[in-house]
A and B are shown apart, each in its own frame.
Chain A
Amino acid sequence: EVQLVQSGAEVKKPGESLKISCKGSGYSFTRYWIGWVRQMPGKGLEWMGIIYPGDSDTRYSPSFQGQVSISADKSISTAYLQWSSLKASDTAMYYCARWVTARGEVYFQHWGQGTLVTVSS
């Protein structure tokens, strides 16, 4: 069974750094893209970017390029989403999900449970 288990909720102050994680199991971690999705309070889903753990090829939505960093450690089947300096506007639920790309298809097939990030002074 494919599972994506995310790290727990975080409460941070503006200007602090943060790295949240997403551990995959039940499949070959290096052979599927992993993506991150933001959902701000009461708002919709936003596609942030994806990473291919096999070679760390990474793609960002223009809206998030330079704002966050996506990485992966294939030795422990874990993907990461990182901020160097948080802002209050980063307060949101963040989901990781397995990104399927095959035969012209591109979609999130399996989702993590979400990590709530709260940034407040």
Chain B
Amino acid sequence: SYELTQPPSVSVSPGQTARITCSGDALPKQYAYWYQQKPGQAPVLVIYKDSERPSGIPERFSGSSSGTTVTLTISGVQAEDEADYYCQSADSSGTMGVFGGGTKLTVL
């Protein structure tokens, strides 16, 4: 079955830039989406269509795509950004969704 691969963890100091990657063979054909999940809460969409930001999401969140890898970038990381981040896309047919394994962002 189709898989998306993320690093298990990323650590940054406050004010620095965090980059979280997600790799998958179908990413050149399918958009990627990013969700933030804080402990005890439901996930929240922070990036859609590779690089679009939903209303209400701070400008420090951005996304990019290159080949089989997409990247979530958080510029000027704040303590409140500490959370698990999941990428999501679809298989090559576009009918079945899939999540990456998730990345725990730690703000030092």
Contact = CB atoms under 8 A, between A and B. Distances in A.
Q: Do A and B come from one complex?
A: yes
Interface of A: 35, 37, 44-47, 50, 59, 61-63, 95, 99, 101, 104-109, 111-114
Interface residues of B, number: 26
A95 B97 CA distance: 15
Contacts of B98: 47, 61
Contacts of A99: 97
B74 to A, nearest CB: 19
B86 A44 contact: yes
Interface of B: 1, 30-31, 33, 35, 37, 42-45, 48-49, 84, 86, 88-90, 94-102
Contacts of A37: 43, 99
Interface residue SS majority, chain A: strand
A113 B44 CA distance: 11
A106 B90 contact: yes
